Structure 1
Amino acid sequence: MANATQVRPVETTPPGPPGRRTARLPGVDGIRALAVTAVLVYHLSASWLPGGYLGVDVFFVISGYLITRLLVAERAGTGRISLRHFWLRRARRILPPLFPMLLATVVLTALVHRSALHQLRTEVLGALTYTSNWVQIAEHHSYFAKFGDPSVLQHLWSLAVEEQFYLIWPLVVVLILLRGRRRLALVAGLGAIGSAAAMAALFQPGGDPSRVYFGTDTHASGLLIGAVLAIAWPAASAAPGPWPRRRLAATATAAGLGAAGIGLGFWLLGQYSDATYRGGILAVSAATAVLIVGTGHGRTPIGALLALRPVRWLGARSYGLYLWHWPVLVLGDRIFAQRTVIVGAIEVSVAVLLAAGSYRFIERPVLTHGYRGALSRAWRSVQGRTSARRGGLITAAGATAALCVFAVVTLLHAPAAPVSGLDRQLAAAQLAAKQPPAVEPTPDAVAPSPSASPSPAGPPPGNQISALGDSVMLAASPALRHQLPGIQIDAKVSRAMQKGPGIISGWAHRGALRPVVLLGLGTNGPFPADMLEGIIGQLGPDRTLYLVNVYLPTRPWGGEVNHTLTKVASGHTNVHLIDWRSAAGAHQNLLWPDRIHPRPGAGADLYARTVVEAMSTPMRAAPPGRVQ
């Protein structure tokens, strides 16, 4: 994510004949600060900002705008565009902060998360070749799955998208500008619409949207909207001098509309929402362009707020903060058993300090003086110090070189990730699921009727039950099949509630939806109550639904998930809550060390017994209120 393109003379003045220097826009750093804060909050799993990940799209618009602005200004000032110098400037901006982050990540991963080294080798290669997003697509990584071990370098997907844009877009600009700026704006606009259309077309409701989210082809709309803005509004509005009242009012209105649009996107556009991928990301990108127009110069109230020194300070360091925050969060979670408020504050503080150090000692010197100039000044600084301090600096340089060697050797000889007992259990459960059921459902088993509801004498027959769940249910599926012979189970690792409607719709279409439905989803993240209400509507009043709540002592969204389940269940006579949370909490010795999944044998039996007992006495549910 090379979004933090600094608009300084070293960045904006092309080599060779003097060109036009682009005016600095003080509000842009503030918008960067807003964007990186949203991403950071989202990655901290704050449920009150479900669309915080869209901060990346705000960065995309800024990058597309500033890069195109630089290219167009160079063409206007010199009559040509030096692609060589453009790409060198991009490398000077992107690579110096990236390398130390990669080095530190490899070393720390080797110390605290050794099982991730084998995967990390591929990810480092993707980072060095500008292909991180395609590597993650090829490896079927999910950006949105909130459970399991995430990729330590997953966040570099956005940097790869921008780097690919930096390689291709200047060539397009050089060719199309020969036919005029309007033609270039048309190409950029059509490209933005085409990319958004491809995202909408490839998005599959109920599925994991990571492919369309990671793909350069489907996620370039923000970069191209920024390019359109750079051509249509090259920041002439930032010219000094008094402004007419109408102009101030118009820009203030633009700032308000842009900020409102971005805020609504952050608040409303969840990761699995259809609207996000069918115009939502495009709308947030357009709102960002409007906000740049309204705040770039800092003359509106919102622009003045974004131009405050602390906000601009954070925005200027947003690239470094984006680079460092994700490895810090992932590796920090390996060090600490649980991310409490204090742990989260420590992790954020460490990321901010690393970003500040990167800006002070790496980014700023290289941007100001270039590679050679920065190295020359550093060498002169070493020579000018006392022998003791000079020795300390030389020792530090030697240690850094040793760490580089260690990182390379570690990656080259990274062992394959060991298979855990839980992984073996889940794999065995998946294999068992492919075997034919012990009891086949009768032809009329899928027809709902009032008699399908269980009685106090016992649970309904297994051939009357359709079960849909995530890895927790998958781990317990052998015991469920043993205690409820003939039960239909579709459980999968990393499955979220957002996939439920599509699977249930498929069952209904095939005539495979049974009178009793067992739903065990929620381990992988929160979901809105209306999504669950939609599932209840799909099932209709004649089917009985059992909701299994979650036991997630190490995940911050457990309380929210259980509160939603309890609230929705209390509003329907045919919906009942199964209190797995209490059962698991009372028998933690039957869980794996992650304190979430039941162990084979007694742990899986506990899950199945909890389900059977609840189905035998359907009115026994978890008490109302917020279940943690």
Structure 2
Amino acid sequence: MRIKWFSLIRITGLICVLLYHFFQMRYTGGFIGVDIFFTFSGYLITALIIDEFSKTKKFSLHDFYYRRVMRIVPPLILMICVVLPFTLLVGRDYITDLTRQIAAALGFVTNIFEINTGGTYESRFIPHLFVHTWSLAIEVQFYLLWGLCLYLLTKYSQTVKQFRWRVFGGSFALATISALAMYLRAKQLTEFSPIYFSSVTHIFPFFIGSMLGAIAGIQDVLPQFSESFAKHWTKKWAAIFMGVNLGCLFILAYCLRFSEQITYMFGFLLASLFAAGAIFGANVLHRKTPDIKEPQIFTYLADISYSVYLFHWPLFVILSKRYSNWGAALLTTILAVIFASFSYYFLEPLLRGKDVAVLGKTFNLKQVLAPLGIFTTLAVGFGVYLCLQAPTISSLEQNLLLGGIQQDVTKLETAYAKATAPKVEQQLAQTQTADQTIPEGTTIIGDSVTLGSRSYLLEHMENVDIDAEGNRTMNLAYDVLMNLQNTNQLRQNVVICIGTNALDDYQEQTQKVIDDLKDGHHLIFITPHDGNADSSYNSYKLGVWERTLPKKYNFITIGDWDEVARAHPEAFEGTDGTHFGGREDTSKLYLDCIQDALKRAQKTPLKGEK
């Protein structure tokens, strides 16, 4: 039995995801499309299992797993085989760590892989081609565990009613635990990806859907649902209820931000509840419109939605490097629809042993087995070749790693030189420390952007110390500042190149830097630049706020790297729009920005001077 109007739920989820990936700057919360899919899957799977138990008084775990495998695996394998040749259109960085990417996707552990490698859709490095299969990993993990749990429940449930309420109670408990885990972790939020990708914190939408499935299933439903809603709600009210919930989902897709705390504390939960509301409304509307046929376009788009989701992300990552954003989005959509249609209407039925009619000709599995085998053999061979050619880390990551190693070596050499210096020199150094004489020159404290250009800066600047580290936020920069200041290693000119990873408390943390810096220093802030950020991002807001500081503090100077970078978009071609380590032309722009700020700082008073 197919419920009409459920197609609109799937289509809404797909549209949200596509808008987010294609136009991330505008539809910043479209990632909730995944939560819509999660909620719908939880509802549908639970409702179908209850229906099966209601009819037969048993539940076949083997058949359940078989159906899931046949629906999930063929399009996944096809997607990987089809996408790999497209990587020839871009540089080798886009196949970085390809072996582990493919293994994680096929092993349904991409979410764990991304947590361990620090990946994200909004990655500041080269995005993984198969990062989007993180959601598929959580879905399969849910199917494996939840299917087994419900199978065991059927063994200890005497009636459908008893089974239903046990499913509801278990779903409620698990949804509460998972949502609470996300809420509590979000309160101490320092990094988003581990919460977003975690099965523990992001599995609650499935159980919210399961709760609804236990109450208002597909065929077997609670009498209370049938009497209270299916009978008393009008067609109009059911449509309005569904429409309002879908509308709320689109509002969330427009308003939420991946890097904001409120998204994790409440945003995902609201998205799941609105999705459940839309499912509920569609269920009632289905029962109220027995004579109305669902438009075929809705059914078609819903059928291919899963496969479109699989194909669109890697294709867009690749094509967006060759075409304009609009062109890449259009071409990606066309190709994804073609491949998804082939998978759903041709390949998958054949693999399930069904005959397929195409243009009046009928095909069966035996007829396509030879070409399918040749295609698979060629695809596997090409995949193995690419895996053997794939770098372990991208060129940008390699540059950052090298910069970090060089920085660590410098620190070790400095520490060794101090430890082995003659006693007279050590006593002199101790005397200087006691006198708290501020060393001349410049101290630069930066994040991964600075780390990538560290070698270039050291080659072209005199009397400078650089301490940079990836993912450094302002509070961590403050700790470095205090340590250098307390050990009398902080030079007269203090340059803070922090902000790409700005958290919600960026003003408070920056103010601590300003207040606790001792007298006798110039303080220079280099505004952060994130090529993917708009005015809603903390990095952008921090830059705006930093520009106001010289009017309030005469010892502060601003180096406006964000303004320089936006005026030279060509300097970021082939990069992630933020980092440029290894590119000499962009490193020179960065150096010029810092040196210009230092020159202007010399014309201002030191902190503590009038």
TM-score (structure 1 length as normaliser): 0.74
Structure 1 letter corresponding to 2:169: L
Between the aligned partners of 1:445 and 1:208, the Cα distance in structure 2 is 37
Partner in structure 2 of residue 198 of structure 1: 181
- Which segment is superposed worse, 150-159 or 608-617? 608-617
- Which segment is superposed worse, 117-126 or 569-578? 569-578
Structure 2 letter corresponding to 1:373: K
On the 8 A contact 2:174/2:207 being kept in 1, the answer is: yes
Structure 2 letter corresponding to 1:381: T
Deviations 1:301-331 (A, max 9, x none): 9xxx996654443233210110100111122
Is 1:547 equivalent to 2:532 in the alignment? Answer: no
Match of 1:187 among 157, 163, 170: 170
Partner in structure 2 of residue 315 of structure 1: 302
Structure 2 letter corresponding to 1:500: T
Partner in structure 2 of residue 578 of structure 1: 559
Is 1:433 equivalent to 2:416 in the alignment? Answer: no
Change (3 A) 1:73 1:116: same
Partner in structure 2 of residue 65 of structure 1: 43
Is 1:219 equivalent to 2:197 in the alignment? Answer: no
Deviations 1:171-218 (A, max 9, x none): 211222434222221111111111223334455855332222222222
Between the aligned partners of 1:57 and 1:586, the Cα distance in structure 2 is 38
Partner secondary structure for residue 193 of structure 1:
helix
TM-score (structure 2 length as normaliser): 0.76
Structure 1 letter corresponding to 2:252: G
Between the aligned partners of 2:72 and 2:228, the Cα distance in structure 1 is 35
Partner in structure 2 of residue 9 of structure 1: none
Between the aligned partners of 1:442 and 1:107, the Cα distance in structure 2 is 61
Between the aligned partners of 1:187 and 1:243, the Cα distance in structure 2 is 26
Is 1:152 equivalent to 2:129 in the alignment? Answer: yes
On the 8 A contact 1:26/1:297 being kept in 2, the answer is: no
Change (3 A) 1:63 1:590: closer
Partner secondary structure for residue 101 of structure 2:
helix
Match of 2:362 among 378, 381, 389: 381
On the 8 A contact 1:476/1:608 being kept in 2, the answer is: no
Is 1:281 equivalent to 2:268 in the alignment? Answer: yes
Change (3 A) 1:558 1:362: farther
Partner secondary structure for residue 381 of structure 1:
strand
The CA deviation at 1:401 is 4.4
Partner secondary structure for residue 518 of structure 1:
strand
Partner in structure 2 of residue 347 of structure 1: 332
On the 8 A contact 2:112/2:198 being kept in 1, the answer is: yes
Between the aligned partners of 1:240 and 1:27, the Cα distance in structure 2 is 21
The CA deviation at 1:73 is 0.6
Between the aligned partners of 1:242 and 1:261, the Cα distance in structure 2 is 21
Partner secondary structure for residue 617 of structure 1:
helix
Is 1:91 equivalent to 2:69 in the alignment? Answer: yes
The CA deviation at 1:244 is 5.9
What RMSD in Å do the two structures reach over aligned CA positions?
4.6
The CA deviation at 1:576 is 5.2
Deviations 1:230-271 (A, max 9, x none): 112225599799966656686467436633553443234322
- Which segment is superposed worse, 241-250 or 565-574? 241-250
The CA deviation at 1:152 is 1.2
Deviations 1:513-542 (A, max 9, x none): 9895523444x8xx89x7654554554578
Structure 1: any 5+ residue segments left out of the alignment? 1-22, 384-389, 447-451, 453-459, 621-628
Structure 2 letter corresponding to 1:290: G
Change (3 A) 1:290 1:480: farther
Structure 2 letter corresponding to 1:371: R
Partner in structure 1 of residue 352 of structure 2: 371
Aligned runs of 1:152-171 on 2, under 5 Å?
152-171=129-148
Partner in structure 1 of residue 343 of structure 2: 358
Is 1:127 equivalent to 2:105 in the alignment? Answer: yes
Change (3 A) 1:258 1:418: closer
Structure 1 letter corresponding to 2:97: Q
Change (3 A) 1:358 1:122: same
Partner in structure 1 of residue 420 of structure 2: none
Structure 2: any 5+ residue segments left out of the alignment? 416-428, 518-522, 604-610
The CA deviation at 1:299 is 6.8
Partner in structure 2 of residue 483 of structure 1: 461
Structure 1 letter corresponding to 2:391: A
Change (3 A) 1:586 1:418: farther
Structure 2 letter corresponding to 1:287: F
Change (3 A) 1:583 1:45: same
On the 8 A contact 2:529/2:540 being kept in 1, the answer is: no
Change (3 A) 1:315 1:485: farther
- Which segment is superposed worse, 420-429 or 223-232? 420-429
Between the aligned partners of 2:600 and 2:433, the Cα distance in structure 1 is 25
Change (3 A) 1:135 1:436: closer
Change (3 A) 1:487 1:261: farther
Is 1:142 equivalent to 2:119 in the alignment? Answer: yes
Partner in structure 2 of residue 500 of structure 1: 473
Partner secondary structure for residue 31 of structure 2:
helix
Between the aligned partners of 1:171 and 1:504, the Cα distance in structure 2 is 48
The CA deviation at 1:489 is 2.7
Change (3 A) 1:89 1:468: same
Change (3 A) 1:490 1:298: farther
Percent of matched pairs sharing the same residue:
23
- Which segment is superposed worse, 434-443 or 263-272? 434-443
Partner in structure 2 of residue 617 of structure 1: 600
Between the aligned partners of 1:536 and 1:117, the Cα distance in structure 2 is 38
